[in-house]
Structure 1
Amino acid sequence: MADRRQVLRFGAVAAAAPALAGAVSAPAWAGAHGGGRSRPLVVGHRGASGYRPEHTLASYELAARMGADYIEPDLVITKDGVLVCRHEPEIGGTTDVASRPEFAGRKRTVVLDGVSVTGWWTQDFTLAELKTLRAVERIPAIRQQNTIYDGYFEVPTFQEVLDLRKRLSKELDRELGVFPETKHPTFFQRIGLGLEKPLVRTLRRNGLDRRGAKVFIQSFEAANLRTLAGEHRVEVPLVFLTSASGNPFNDPRSYADYLTPAGLKELSGFADGLGPEKNQIIPRKADGTLGTPTRLVADAHAAGLKVIPYTFRAENSFLPAELRVGTDVAAYGKSIDEQVTFLRTGIDGLFTDNPDIGVLARTLV
């Protein structure tokens, strides 16, 4: 079984990909990496998570082979201070930890950004312990086909993702970018496991904290980006992620306040881009269909910020009502049409679980 897992981790996983377009290289994001407007970027959201369990080396590799310009690892941290790639620090829904009797006693309730959550937490595991676990599909009711890969892939470290990026850049003869997100940075800072220092240290060790490197760092917390820009003086561009409601954790200001013209101008003092929830670009009407685009793209561009919204997915469950096909929430709808519609608003890229669709969509704009 170990040999089989090793094969599935790397090149063999790409052969079965249901790609809609070939691996097409695109120039880097203009403004952060050079002058002039370039083609919109395709960012493999958690890899190619529409086809493989998210945040696995198999998912990241498949995204690259489908033509993604960047792969996106979410970063959390272990008990012994190693950055690993998981959507959240709670791993009950993305690994097989719940079925491991040796870790039954690790289950506990933690207050995460003000909300009580019960499960298993990366900060309670050493890297060696995490490496005994295997990834599982996070939304099996929607992506049943991905469950065939449950149990085969490890939880990767950030360094392993950078090693994969380097290998694939050479193999594909194009530089693959990486778009890490710091997950719950204030939470981790408060428990003595801050993400900033190991993130910056890892980038610098790999020669990637420099102008022109194909790296963006993103966060839902403006304070985190300020710290990276100020105290740590990172050289790579920073992207502020926003939600359609609420506030960044421990921040009295709402996301909506940051997206006013004055707020965007302030953001441009320490950030280079904006990663809004896609409904902030084109909101949905009461009936679930797409409405009229907002001014956010124009306002962000006026402030000198690039815009790359999240998250584009192929299943009906995630699509506007007029682009769904049939009644099965897990069936594919007209996801190409959705991405084309958003690309025509002038966005600078998009996060997608289906990088092959993103690569195709941008050729149609």
Structure 2
Amino acid sequence: MPATRVIGHRGASGWAPEHTATAVRLAAELGADAVEPDLVATRDGVLVVRHDNELGGTTDIADRPGLAGRRRTQTIDGVEVEGWFVEDLTWAEVATLRARERLPGLRPLSARRDGLDGVLRFTDLLAIADATGLDVVAELKHATHHASIGLPLDALLADAVVGTHWSSSGRLTVESFEESVLHAVRERGVEARIVYLMEQDGTAADLVGDDRAPSYAQQRTGAGLTALGRRVDAISVDKASLFDRSTGQLAPSDLVERARAAGLGTLAWTLRPENRFLEPEHRLGTHDAAWGDWTTEWATVAALGLEAVFVDHPDLWRRLPTG
């Protein structure tokens, strides 16, 4: 069985603010095979690398007098969100921002780098990936929302990669929590592996409103996986889906095996060592930021034969016997 590939989740985001040039380069240095950027779009149609289209949590926009007044509230994928949104700014305005650690209470060492890096465009990240040898696993965020405001992410992605080696080298994967945008990407001539992201609960945003639409949980049933196996290359699931508590004790689930039987690869997100992100059985002490028994949890995941895992600390995965 091929070794599980390690994907730097937004770079080495356990050690440096996520989605920064520093985090991406560090991911390569620490042994990642690929990097995962989340992609959102500016008002003038530039794909930028940010966790979400709301910028207040990962940049210093609140401290910018000329931009602070752009704060507003809008509904995205059925959730009301207040903040500063990338689609309200041009790339020239976004380029003035500086990156900040998204989880400073959990990662104070990373927060010391606040302000040292700017915001990357997707094309900037591709250049870094070329220079470091990283593959790219690009996530299209809030695709339905972006399409509704005239910023179709599939078209913007195609503009960035079609005609370049990224659309023919086998080094590009495209993923989304919305399946429809993945097919739109392929229809635009992007040659990439397509991966359907699945939340633990709920229904995909592009299916909301259809009473017959399956939930993510229903799509993980045998019939659901068989149907997905005819449409996508792989699924990417919340780490919690890899565990089974039906017997009262924590044990590996059979999801990876069932997906493989349906012709699907399986990726999992996101492995982190802090107590806050570990299964309760693997937490040590009560402090969210303390590192728990991550080695036991990650070793269990490593034994499942996953296609790839998303990690914030690529070096920790490489320390596992199977990493």
* Structure-2-length-normalised TM-score: 0.94
Q: Which amino acid aligns with 1:278?
A: K
1:101 match: secondary structure: coil
Corresponding position of 2:166: 208
CA contact (8 A) 2:7 2:311 kept: yes
Corresponding position of 2:210: none
Q: Deviations over 1:312-336 (max 9, x none)?
A: 0011111123322333221222222
- Structure 1 counterpart of 2:298, from 328, 339, 344: 339
1:264 match: secondary structure: helix
CA contact (8 A) 2:35 2:135 kept: yes
Q: Deviations over 1:138-182 (max 9, x none)?
A: 11111111111111111100000000011112xxxxxx2000000
- 1:324-363 correspondence to structure 2 within 5 Å: 324-361=283-320, 363=321
CA contact (8 A) 1:109 1:116 kept: yes
- 1:241-320 correspondence to structure 2 within 5 Å: 241-251=197-207, 252-283=213-244, 291-320=250-279
- Alpha carbons of structure 1 residues 188 and 286: separation in structure 2 relative to 1, 3 Å: farther
Of 233-242 and 52-61, deviating more is 233-242
Q: Deviations over 1:24-61 (max 9, x none)?
A: xxxxxxxxxxxxx3210000001011010111111111
Is 1:137 the counterpart of 2:137? The answer is: no
Corresponding position of 1:193: 151
Is 1:182 the counterpart of 2:140? The answer is: yes
CA contact (8 A) 2:158 2:189 kept: no
CA distance in 2, matches of 1:131, 1:228: 26
Is 1:221 the counterpart of 2:178? The answer is: yes
- Alpha carbons of structure 1 residues 131 and 286: separation in structure 2 relative to 1, 3 Å: farther
CA distance in 1, matches of 2:189, 2:47: 20
Which protein is richer in strand relative to its size? 2
Q: Deviations over 1:243-296 (max 9, x none)?
A: 110000031321112112222122122211110101111146899xx6222221
State the number of aligned residues. 318
Same amino acid, percent of matched pairs? 40
Is 1:238 the counterpart of 2:194? The answer is: yes
- Alpha carbons of structure 1 residues 304 and 286: separation in structure 2 relative to 1, 3 Å: closer
CA contact (8 A) 1:284 1:320 kept: no
CA distance in 1, matches of 2:74, 2:162: 32
- Structure 1 counterpart of 2:15, from 28, 42, 51: 51
2:200 match: secondary structure: coil
Of 317-326 and 250-259, deviating more is 317-326
2:55 match: secondary structure: coil
Alignment root-mean-square deviation, CA: 1.7
CA distance in 2, matches of 1:345, 1:213: 24
CA distance in 1, matches of 2:154, 2:138: 12
CA distance in 1, matches of 2:260, 2:82: 41
Structure 1 residue 218: Cα displacement = 0.5
- 1:101-140 correspondence to structure 2 within 5 Å: 101-140=65-104
1:225 match: secondary structure: helix
CA distance in 2, matches of 1:235, 1:204: 8
- Alpha carbons of structure 1 residues 54 and 327: separation in structure 2 relative to 1, 3 Å: same
CA contact (8 A) 1:137 1:146 kept: yes
2:8 match: secondary structure: strand
1:188 match: secondary structure: helix
CA distance in 2, matches of 1:159, 1:203: 9
Q: Which amino acid aligns with 2:234?
A: G
Ranges in structure 2 where 5+ consecutive residues have no aligned partner: 208-212
2:285 match: secondary structure: coil
* Structure-1-length-normalised TM-score: 0.84
CA contact (8 A) 2:17 2:102 kept: yes
Corresponding position of 1:66: 30
CA distance in 1, matches of 2:11, 2:246: 30
